[in-house]
């Protein structure tokens, strides 16, 4: 069985303890590889390597640093098919989606920050005729980057690319549930000639390997994407050590449909924003609010289109909904569907586990599920389910729907559908979400700041914000 290895000081090595964990293929419900069960000893070796590599990497001319990172992006492009298949096997998503979204985005993350660093500028302030102040930005040191399982290589590169481009060295941990593409990525870094110790990848469990990264005194900055509960724990550990923190956490995103919307587009994209990647995208719209005069028509068409989504083998071309990432996660999603029914919800379509024939007979598949009849404050509409489950509710007024939309502890993203420009601006300004899509979904310009409000996170990633995060700013005041 294939053994995934850590990438420390430029080499692929097993964990110091010699212990490995089982890695499952969720579409088959079967162990298919082994992942290091790393601990503090491995994290210490990774931090030592990163510290040793730091001075030379930070001092390297930015064009040279950029060229190495772009070479890695080229290799990701070259290995598109292989990486997409690996991501699909590890995570359960349709290989078609991995090929169209996850892997291309991983390479554009690398390219975006590699070229961004070349154009990065810091501020200068002329204080009359008295002095000139300039902001000297230097890489902060060894960065700790921890990523989740839902978009494995996409989110892994979203964290490490700005850190490396800014001149930091990195100790990173992908999710233990989806380690394969980060492992393949480490081989590409070796092929691209990334100097040893610049990027170190330590695999393993969150509370063991992840916690050791957070606690390490020589890691001054942590960039984390994952659940809100984990984020809270990380903040509690890191804050007393005065670490710089960027936390990208959970969401319970509203999707608001006004009666004057472009109906076809709103329904089609809402089906996509509800069920893409099995609903396992932090930006999926899991609460749909539809203006009452359009409600019946919208629900009817939405349910019809949902019924057409093929749940199946992630490697088949026609499959739109693959497997959920793990048995535990599938059970969590099914328990929320049961809870929704206890809360008075009506399942209009879906609601059950899907048992497929053949290779995927033991896979973790759940039908795309549409629920109505719930109020905005019930647990189903308050807690993140992170699966192919969506609720639909009618609303009468703008103020009412803004109240529903903002009425959860989360504030990651929101979508709204209207042809009325004034309404779009007015509502967008009042939504407490880090990103608001008007008449579209998941459209991203990497130059824009990205991140959540409230319990969806602190800090902003993307664009200059991400490059700045990994630097330390010093004001130099020169008297004229």
Catalytic center residues: 248, 282
Q: Does 36 bind ligand NAD (CB under 6 A)?
A: no
Closest CA to 120 of 105, 136, 133, 108: 136
CA dist., res. 428 & res. 245, Å (int) = 27
Question: Strands (DSSP E) along 396-451, which ranges?
Answer: 410-411, 413-417, 435-438
**Residue from the set 180, 299, 389, 412 that interacts with ligand NAD by CB under 6 A:** 412
Coil, strand or helix at 102: helix
- CB-wise, 21 or 68, nearer to ligand NAD? 21
The residues, any chain, with a CB within 8 Å of residue 433's CB and separated by 6 or more, are 253, 254, 405, 411, 412, 413, 414, 452, 453, 456
- Would you count residue 274 as binding ligand NAD (CB under 6 A)? no
Task: Determine which residue in the list 6, 88, 108, 150 makes contact with ligand NAD, applying CB under 6 A.
Answer: 150
Q: 183 to 222, contacts with ligand NAD by CB under 6 A?
A: 205-207, 210-211, 214
**Structural contact between residues 134 and 477, judged by C-beta atoms closer than 8 angstroms:** no
Q: By CB under 6 A, tell whether 144 contacts ligand NAD.
A: no
Q: Are strands 169-173 and 142-146 parallel, antiparallel or unpaired?
A: parallel
Interface residue with ligand NAD among 248, 291, 301, 313 (CB under 6 A) is 248
CB 47 within 8 A of CB 216: yes
Cβ proximity of 166 and 160 under 8 Å: no
- Collect all residues with Cβ–Cβ distance below 8 Å to 331 and sequence separation of at least 6: none
Question: Which of residues 15, 139, 162, 226 is near ligand NAD by CB under 6 A?
Answer: 226
Among 225, 274, 369, 408, binds ligand NAD (CB under 6 A): 225
CB neighbourhood size of 76 (10 A): 25
In the complex, least distance from residue 360 CB atom to ligand NAD, rounded to whole angstroms = 22
279 sits near ligand NAD (criterion: CB under 6 A): no
Query: Residue 455 in contact with residue 411, Cβ under 8 Å?
Result: yes
Torsion region of 386: left, alpha or beta (phi above 0 gives left; psi -120 to 50 gives alpha): left
149 binds ligand NAD per the rule CB under 6 A: yes
Identify the residue among 35, 166, 171, 282 touching ligand NAD (CB under 6 A): 282
Applying CB under 6 A, among 36, 92, 94, 148 the residue interacting with ligand NAD is 148
- Total residues at the site for ligand NAD (CB under 6 A)? 32
When the beta carbons of 101 and 282 are compared against ligand NAD, the nearer one is: 282
The answer to whether residue 27 forms part of the interface with ligand NAD (CB under 6 A) is no
Q: Least Å distance between CB 456 and ligand NAD?
A: 6
Interface pattern 317-346 for ligand NAD (x via CB under 6 A): ------------------------------
Q: Does 286 bind ligand NAD (CB under 6 A)?
A: no
Q: Per CB under 6 A, does 116 bind ligand NAD?
A: no
Judged by CB under 6 A, which stretch of 168-176, 181-189, 264-272, 309-317 contacts ligand NAD? 168-176
Q: Is residue 459 near ligand NAD by the rule CB under 6 A? A: no
DSSP helix/strand/coil, 57: helix
Euclidean distance between CA atoms 45 and 200, whole angstroms: 9
Please tell me whether residue 313 binds ligand NAD under the rule CB under 6 A: no
Sheet holding 131-139, edge to edge: 124-127, 131-139, 471-479
Which residues in this chain contact ligand NAD in the complex, by CB under 6 A?
146-150, 155, 173, 175-176, 205-207, 210-211, 214, 225-227, 230, 233-234, 248-251, 282, 384, 386, 412, 452, 456-457
């Amino acid at each position: 069985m294939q053994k995934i290895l850590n990438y420390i000081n430029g080499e692929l090595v097993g964990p110091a303890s010699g212990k490995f964990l089982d890695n499952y293929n969720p579409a088959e419900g079967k162990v298919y590889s082994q992942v290091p069960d790393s601990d503090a000893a491995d994290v210490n070796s990774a931090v030592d390597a990163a510290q040793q590599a730091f001075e030379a990497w930070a001092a390297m001319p930015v064009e040279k640093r950029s060229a190495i990172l772009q070479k890695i992006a080229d290799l990701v492009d070259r290995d598109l098919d292989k990486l997409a298949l690996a991501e699909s096997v590890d995570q359960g998503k349709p290989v078609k989606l991995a090929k169209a979204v996850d892997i291309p985005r991983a390479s554009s993350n690398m390219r975006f920050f590699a070229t961004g660093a070349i154009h990065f500028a810091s501020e200068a302030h002329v204080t009359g005729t008295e002095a000139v102040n300039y902001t000297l930005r230097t890489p902060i040191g060894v960065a700790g980057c921890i990523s989740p399982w839902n978009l494995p290589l996409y989110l892994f590169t979203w964290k490490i690319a700005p850190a490396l481009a800014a001149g930091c060295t990195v100790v990173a941990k992908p999710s233990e549930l989806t380690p394969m593409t980060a492992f393949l990525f480490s081989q590409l870094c070796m092929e691209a000639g990334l100097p040893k110790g610049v990027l170190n990848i330590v695999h393993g469990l969150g509370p063991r390997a992840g916690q050791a990264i957070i606690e390490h005194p020589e890691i001054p900055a942590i960039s984390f994407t994952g659940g809100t509960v984990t984020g809270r724990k990380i903040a509690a550990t890191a804050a007393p050590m005065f670490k710089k923190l960027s936390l990208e956490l959970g969401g319970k995103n509203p999707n608001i449909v006004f009666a004057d919307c472009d109906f076809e587009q709103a329904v089609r994209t809402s089906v996509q924003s509800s069920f893409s990647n099995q609903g396992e995208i932090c930006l999926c719209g899991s609460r749909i609010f539809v203006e009452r005069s359009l409600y019946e028509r919208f629900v009817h068409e939405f349910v019809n289109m949902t019924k057409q989504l093929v749940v199946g083998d992630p490697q088949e071309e026609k499959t739109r909904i693959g497997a959920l990432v793990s048995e535990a996660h599938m059970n969590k999603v099914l328990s929320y569907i049961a809870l929704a029914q206890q809360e008075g919800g009506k399942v209009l379509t879906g609601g059950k586990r899907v048992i497929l024939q053949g290779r995927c007979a033991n896979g973790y598949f759940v039908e795309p599920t549409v629920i109505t009849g719930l109020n905005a404050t019930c647990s189903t509409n308050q807690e993140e389910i992170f699966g192919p489950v969506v609720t639909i509710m009618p609303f009468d007024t703008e103020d009412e729907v803004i109240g529903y939309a903002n009425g959860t502890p989360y504030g990651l993203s929101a979508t709204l559908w209207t042809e009325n420009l004034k309404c779009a601006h007015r509502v967008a300004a009042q939504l407490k979400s880090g990103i608001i899509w008007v008449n579209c979904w998941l459209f991203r310009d990497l130059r824009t700041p990205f991140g959540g409000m409230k319990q969806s996170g602190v800090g902003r990633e993307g664009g200059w914000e991400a490059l700045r995060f990994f630097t330390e700013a010093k004001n130099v005041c020169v008297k004229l």
